[in-house]
Amino acid sequence: MQPAILAYCVLKGGRAKVNGQTYFAGSQVVDQFLPELYAALGLNYPKFFKMDNLAKLAFLATEALLQSVPNPLHANDNVAQFFMNSDSSLDTDLVHQAMINEHRNVSPSVFVYTLPNILMGEIAIKNKWHGENLFILAPDFNVIDWLNEARLLFDLQKATYCIGGWVNCLNGNYEAKLVLAAANQPAQITIETLKDEFAV
Amino acid sequence: MSESLKRELKEHLIAQLNLADLTPEDIADDQPLFGNGLGLDSIDALEIIVILDNEYGLTLKNPEEGKEIFHTINSLAAYIEKNKA
Amino acid sequence: MKQVFVTGIGIVSSLGIGRVATFKQLAAEESGIAKTTLFGKEIFVGQVPLTNKELQRQLAIPQEEVVSRTALLGLLAAKEAWGSNREGGLRTAFINSSTVGGMDLSEQYFSSENKEANANLFLMHDLGTITNYIARSVGDFGYVSTISTACSSAANAIMHGGQLIENGHFDRVLVGGADALSNFTIQGFQSLMVYSDKWCMPFDENRTGLNLGEGAAYLVLESEESMTASGNVPLAVLGGWANANDAYHSTGTSPEGFGAQKSMQAALHKAGLAISEIDYINAHGTATGNNDSSELAAMQAVFGHNLPLYSSTKAFTGHTLAPAGALEAVFSILALQNNLVFANINCATPIDASGSLVLQTAVHETKTVLSNSFGFGGNCTSLIFKQAV
């Protein structure tokens, strides 16, 4: 059965768009955009500031999605996470490597983020999600592939919601394209709309 | 105990542990840093070990030792003053 | 829903090259971990006993070709697993996994004198590049994917491949992972203060952390119809699988091992097995203070007081990171094939007094094995293998 798309968002170029509407517009510079969006979302979660930019990006995109739907799925064990990107954790890998190059003590909190799936851990902790979580590396994002995986999870009855998508961040260039999909619910967004919005 | 050392420590913690909302005035000298106090966790404890090495030349081999030393700013400052080369 | 069979296994680790050499070491309780000087420091580590030159020679790769050690280890193990499989009109996929990727080469760039001349060291950096390199060299795959979920990566690759077959999307899938040792990861784990300065002691009261290792392992998974076409014989059945998130901390596991409980329970449910039907658990057992106590608590919560026989094999190989779940899948299958349970070596004072911890490799009727792999980010995966009837 085709997954029903409940909501989607795009974080790119200083903008946060949710379901096609601009939710927030701020600085294009990632180090400013992320805390600005955090404030715009009205969040009170100090752990956010310990995350690296990739995790912050995914975290905020997820929050934006959840704030746009009637049921924010807190502590729901039927939510699966599925994220993809092409740059892995390279943004933070470079920070860690720089410390090694300079013969400095490496930072444990930096090293933690040299794995791309940590962002799913952060999202799981915030939302108390114990469901399945998968991270795949791919050269680019094909939302149909993402939806196919969501469908597989639903068909195998491993989840009734799937959240995730594409989240890439490297050297100040950032992009998040996230989807919240559900099994056995009426779709709020068409696949065509999603393809169009994500193609930009 | 040196007030400037305690203030310096607070500044290091805020910077290195990404305690974005806080200023040194927000951290009391005798406030528990871990658990419900400042809410620091095990990774923060490891970062404090790095701060001790980077800023004060002190190496802590065993993170378990850290539990006592990192209890508050007071205990951290006391440790540094006692052991600093 | 189609049943999933394992028809090929390949493995490379500090225990040696190939499944035969590996089994010999396991059965003889001979560890591959040694105290070595690596990147200027003395550490206990599980190295594959071949240099890159030797690996390239064995793989008939020209010496002048600059190839990441992760790719070399992966290719060697993948070729062993793939064996003489042909295209044969079967819908075939490859699900690879890694965390280090080509970091072993990239990091050499930074310490090289002439950086301009060494820029090519970055060409194999990407995990995807490593995957494509192995894929091209092994066979024709209609779908190729790379999973990266820390220490559960290869276990997830196996699960993912199993699902593709169960759901009829593919007939045959090569699944597994590879990671070489790198200064990047050694320094990282040392900064987390979980790297022991002694040979690691899984499930021991006096354990002081892990030793890292390197390696690669792959399985070939097929449906029954695929086996009829390929002529391959089943070595084992992939009977169950599950993944869950601990949702507690980015590196630490919850004291009760909640994520691990979930993945084990869901895998049992998937396999349609009662807890009494598990004969042996190959634990994640990294020998860190946190993991082993959490994992034991989780096993006790799921299995009650009658724990099945269990052991960690990480004192044999070290913790190989991404491929760990595939290496241990191979060990699980070797256990099934030989009716053995492998020893949890280098444990003098078990934290668990129940007697279920296997202290010496022993003959034991082993029909089903549960294998755990838990990664940073709370990523918990459990796999269940059964004897092929």
CATH number of A107's domain: 3.40.47.10
Q: How many domains does chain A have?
A: 1
Task: Parse chain C into domains and list their residue ranges.
Answer: 5-230, 239-387
Structure tokens, C49: 């006993």
Tell me how close the Cα of A108 comes to any Cα of chain C, in angstroms. 5
Task: Indicate the pLDDT class of residue C69, thresholds 50, 70 and 90.
Answer: very high
Q: Do A93 and C184 touch (CB under 8 A)?
A: yes
Contact C295, C372 (CB under 8 A): yes
CATH for B54:
1.10.1200.10
Instruction: Residue C176: name the closest of C152, C197, C193 by CA.
Output: C152
For domain C5-230, the CATH architecture is 3-Layer(aba) Sandwich (3.40)
Q: Are C122 and C295 in contact (CB under 8 A)?
A: no
Domain assignment present for B25? no
Range of the domain at A118: 4-199
Which pLDDT belongs to residue C88? 87
Instruction: Provide the CATH topology of domain C239-387.
Output: Peroxisomal Thiolase; Chain A, domain 1 (3.40.47)
Measured CA to CA, the distance from residue C56 to residue C54 in angstroms comes to 5
Domain that holds residue B69: 3-19+30-83
Domains C5-230 and C239-387 equal at CATH topology level: yes
Residues C117-140, mean pLDDT to the nearest whole number: 95
Q: Are C376 and C251 in contact (CB under 8 A)?
A: yes
Q: Any residues with CB less than 8 A from the CB of A145 and at least 6 apart, and which?
A: A138
Cβ(B72)–Cβ(B1) below 8 Å: no
Closest CA to C338 of C15, C82, C26: C26
Quick check: is B41 in a domain? yes
User: Using the beta-carbon criterion (under 8 Å), do B43 and A109 form an inter-chain contact?
Assistant: yes
pLDDT at position B85: 59
Determine whether the interchain pair C249/B42 forms a contact, defined as Cβ–Cβ distance below 8 Å: yes
Would B49 be classed as within a structural domain? yes
Number of CB pairs, chain B paired with chain C, less than 8 A apart:
15
Name the minimum distance, in Å, from the CA of B84 to any CA of chain C: 22
- Cα distances (Å, whole numbers) of residue B63 to B39, B47, B67, C205: 17, 11, 7, 17
Residue in chain C lying closest to A113 (CA): C250
Q: What is the mean pLDDT of residues C78-87?
A: 96
pLDDT for the residue B38: 82
Q: What span, in angstroms and rounded, lies between the C-alpha atoms of C344 and C346?
A: 7
Q: What share of chain A is helix, strand, coil (3-state, %, to 5)?
A: 40, 25, 35
Most A-contacting residue of C110, C245, C261 (CB-CB within 10 A), to test interface: C245
Q: Summarize the confidence of residues C92-118 as an average pLDDT.
A: 95
Contact C252 B42 (CB under 8 A): yes
Query: Quick check: B47 and A107 CB within 8 A?
Result: yes
Domain count, chain B: 1
Per-residue model confidence (pLDDT) at position B66: 84
Residue B52 lies in a domain: yes
Judge if ipTM > 0.95: yes
B39 or C30: which leads in pLDDT: C30
pLDDT at A187: 95
| Nearest residue of C to residue B42, measured between CA atoms | C252
CA distance C151 to C153: 6
